[in-house]
Structure 1
């Protein structure tokens, strides 16, 4: 049985897999045009390199393991038609991403950018007025594994957390919950607005002029989910009008962000090049999900595999 990895992992991780699964022929660091694609039962990928041409050639394919949370770049319709199970690594990003978001929030509220700029100028100026997180309110769009973790960290700072999802169903580390329909009414109360929503038919273009216009003129907006949550020109106009006050963006409509994008030059925008999930433990955590799933696959217990993706919903 062939298992094809479309990316590189470390040598000791390769040896670990070979030792744990001696009956499997692993092919590491291959490309989608590798001839082994046609015989492999399992493909391990970051997702973006799986297109309809790859699916047509992968005639023996019976499971796709995506070492990412998002699967929106994959031909989900064709995958559904062929009945190929898809799993992802949902949940492994929560620690690095929540830590990164918290760092950006604290840097903004404590005016650390101003501190760093003054140091560059050798300037001693104590007229820096930061604000506290204590007793503030944060709205988290998409309180899943990542959203709940940033909620937990913010609650430790005395922040009241509001979760927002499709159903309004309760989520961990959220003091209150709303559904998408309650956004406009809730946004005027929020000091921090965070999105970690995936890209789905329900979330694409979810935020419009009325949502940004409803935000406080002191609010910080962070998007660490997907760049199609809104039209970028709508956000730029909102930031120019002062609602929200500032934005930290890790995802964009087009990536890499074009050099001529106005976002690069805006003083109230922090551009993060989609790196919030980066961690030296990324592959390690991915394999922690892949290995039990591979055992379940070999045992014929596909229904028991963790992190199954619904191709119709996109997550």
Structure 2
């Protein structure tokens, strides 16, 4: 059985895949294009080769294992039409992203970014308006693995953790969960709002002008999901009007974030270049899921992290 990888995980790891019984082909994702050698590829392990690789030309492709959690890069119509099974890397980045979320809440509450600026200026100035996380209401819009790892880490701060999911299903580490139709009510209650919901047509601009206005004036907004879940123009205007204590944004409607975006220079906004998922363990966890699923696939067992392409997650 032939498997095409668009990333080389190293000699030892790739040998372990071959030992499962796969004929492994490696082509760099940055330069990949369809070739005759790919005609008999049954398994594609990748992140996003789809700008240059036309999978409709691959007649034997049966399964795509993504190294991402989101699937918005996937050619969905082709995948559905060809009946391709898709699995993702759900859970693979949740721990570093949970740490990042906690870091950014504390950076905003303790205004550490301002202290770093003062240090560079050798300026000694005490700020007596800093906040604590204790008993604050932290709301997660989306209660998947990223939100769960974050909520677990918030337990030590004795914060009140709220979740919003499709039906209000109870999730471990959350004090209470609400159905998505209660979103506006939840937004008005939370001191911190964290977006961890999958990006789909239904969640495009979920956080718009009206929903921003329903949030507390001194709330914190954090986004690690996809940039287009927020109406960015509405957010910029909302911030210009003096709303929100701060925003920590790792994802944007257009990436890289354009140099002329006002978000770069807003003093209450922390911008990071889509790096919340990064840690020294990323390849280990990513490969662990890939290996286990490839073992299951060749043994004709059910795969982990199967995605509903129509739903988008």
TM class by shorter-chain length? over 0.9
Q: CA deviation at 1:129?
A: 2.7
CA RMSD of aligned residues (A): 1.6
CA deviation profile, 1:238-286 (whole Å, cap 9, x unmatched): 1112332211100011111111111111111111100000122212111
Q: Structure 1 residues 53 and 284, CA, compared in 2 at 3 Å: closer, same or farther?
A: closer
Map residues 131-280 of structure 1 onto 2, 5 A cutoff. 131-280=131-280
Q: Which runs of 5+ in 1 are unaligned?
A: none
- For the residue of structure 2 that corresponds to 1:131, the secondary structure is coil
**How many residue pairs are counted as aligned between the two chains?**
310
2:6 aligns with 6
The reply on whether 1:79 has 2:69 as its aligned counterpart is: no
Q: CA deviation at 1:117?
A: 1.6
1:101 aligns with 101
Q: CA deviation at 1:115?
A: 1.7
1:287 aligns with 287
The question of whether the paired residues in 1 share the 8 Å contact of 2:34 and 2:53 is answered with no
Q: Structure 1 residues 52 and 8, CA, compared in 2 at 3 Å: closer, same or farther?
A: closer
1:129 aligns with 129
The question of whether the paired residues in 2 share the 8 Å contact of 1:184 and 1:210 is answered with no
* CA distance in structure 1 between the partners assigned to 2:262 and 2:124 by the alignment: 32
Q: Structure 1 residues 62 and 38, CA, compared in 2 at 3 Å: closer, same or farther?
A: same
State the TM-score, normalizing by the size of structure 1: 0.93
CA deviation profile, 1:119-140 (whole Å, cap 9, x unmatched): 1121222234311100110100
1:44 aligns with 45
The question of whether the paired residues in 1 share the 8 Å contact of 2:146 and 2:196 is answered with yes
* CA distance in structure 2 between the partners assigned to 1:25 and 1:222 by the alignment: 43
* CA distance in structure 1 between the partners assigned to 2:22 and 2:276 by the alignment: 34
The question of whether the paired residues in 2 share the 8 Å contact of 1:239 and 1:245 is answered with no
The question of whether the paired residues in 1 share the 8 Å contact of 2:187 and 2:215 is answered with yes
The question of whether the paired residues in 1 share the 8 Å contact of 2:90 and 2:145 is answered with yes
- For the residue of structure 2 that corresponds to 1:177, the secondary structure is strand
Q: Which runs of 5+ in 2 are unaligned?
A: none
The question of whether the paired residues in 2 share the 8 Å contact of 1:110 and 1:130 is answered with yes
* Larger RCO (CA within 8 A; separation ≥ 6): 2
The reply on whether 1:26 has 2:24 as its aligned counterpart is: yes
1:306 pairs, out of 280, 283, 304, with 304
The question of whether the paired residues in 2 share the 8 Å contact of 1:51 and 1:74 is answered with no
CA deviation profile, 1:159-210 (whole Å, cap 9, x unmatched): 1011011222112211111122212222222111100111112211211112
* CA distance in structure 2 between the partners assigned to 1:100 and 1:193 by the alignment: 14
Q: CA deviation at 1:299?
A: 1.8
